[in-house]
Amino acid sequence: MKISVVGASGVIGTRLSESLRRSGHEVAAASLSLGVDTVTGKGLTAAIAGSDVIVDVTNAASFGDNAALDFFKASTKNLLAAAAEAEVGHYLALSVVGTPRLVESDYFYAKMVQENLIQASSRPYTILRSTQFYEFINGLIDIGGQGDVVRLPPALMSPVAAREVAAFLAELTVATPLGGIVEIAGPEQFGIDEVARIYLAANEDERQVITDPSTSYFGVELTDAALLPGAGARLATEKLSDWLYQSMAA
């Protein structure tokens, strides 16, 4: 099977491409760094020619203002048009758990637009919504960082290892298109503030985490369960403590 991984140079794309190749599939890796621009369409037709499946794991370079919306609208429209022209049989995209509940955020509104475009297209599709990756916890800390203090809300989340998200994507890639949305989440629940404390302690970072419910998350104030998956989500197995141990040992 030939599979185009679009966004192949990112955290998920690199892991997914490696997994698919190990399973014997032909992978066409596409990303901006590899000369494929999904916003302008440059290199896109050649990148997906002959592909059976497109996996869209692209992301906006900037999350503020209209940057994310402009990216996802243009990128998704171009990818869907190219998929239709190439008669690709399965369009698989990665999204975020909680997206419909967070559309007051510019970024999550843009993700909702992406999902809607895919669902309204003629392509057989699957959308996988994932919770936040362990690999991006440091980014959350940076968002709330103010000198020696980090302000974060106590809203619950179930972070997950990027490796397990990529593994589930690999399963979905070779499966029949679902024509719907599935979710994946980590095996544990933490407050965002608690995750930050655990991460900073593991890295011997002495910054103080202050619990502040008013601190925004990508521009929106969170309710307690806004970032949690539904009852039918795939639950990954790697715990935060195990991931931290492995990441520090690497």
Tell me the average pLDDT across 92-110. Answer: 97
Would you state the pLDDT for residue 139? 92
pLDDT band at 231 (very low <50, low <70, confident <90, very high): very high
| Angstrom distances, CA of residue 100 to CA of 32, 58, 116 | 28, 19, 11
Above 70 in pLDDT, residue 235? yes
Task: Please classify residue 44 by burial: count the beta carbons closer than 10 Å to its beta carbon, then call 0-12 exposed, 13-18 middle and 19+ buried.
Answer: buried
Residues 46-98 pLDDT 10s: 999 999 999 999 999 877 778 999 999 999 999 999 999 999 999 999 999 99
Taking the CB of residue 11, how many other CB atoms lie within 10 A of it? Answer: 17
HSE-CB of 2 using CA atoms within 13 angstroms: 11
What integer pLDDT is reported at residue 61 of this predicted model? 83
Task: Kindly indicate the confidence band of residue 247, based on its pLDDT and cuts at 50, 70 and 90.
Answer: confident
| pLDDT-based confidence at residue 224 (cuts at 50, 70, 90) | confident
| pLDDT at res. 146 | 87
Q: Phi and psi dihedrals of 51, rounded to 5?
A: -80, 145
Handedness of CA 136, 140, 169, 229 (dihedral sign): positive
Partnered with residue 36 across adjacent β-strands are none
The count of residues in the chain is: 250
Q: In whole angstroms, how large is the CA radius of gyration of the chain? A: 18
Residue carrying structure tokens 């970024």: 107
Task: List all residues 6 or more positions away from 64 whose beta carbon is below 8 Å from its beta carbon.
Answer: 106, 107, 219
Lowest pLDDT segment from 56-65, 131-140, 239-248? 56-65
The reported pLDDT for the residue numbered 250 is: 66
Percentage with pLDDT > 70 across the chain: 99
Could you tell me what percent of the chain has a pLDDT over 90? 92
Q: Please give the Cα distance from 95 to 207 (Å, whole number).
A: 31
In the predicted model, what is the mean pLDDT of residues 194-211?
Answer: 96
Q: What is the mean pLDDT of the chain?
A: 96
Please give the residue range of the domain that contains residue 88: 2-249
- How do residues 143-157 score in pLDDT, each as one tens digit? 888 889 999 999 999
Phi and psi at 168, nearest 5°, equal -70, -40
CATH number of domain containing 86: 3.40.50.720
Number of domains in the chain: 1
Phi then psi for residue 203, to 5 deg, are -100, 15
In angstroms, the CA 220 to CA 214 distance is 9
Mean pLDDT along residues 171-183: 98
The tens digit of pLDDT for each residue in 8-28 reads: 999 999 999 999 999 999 999
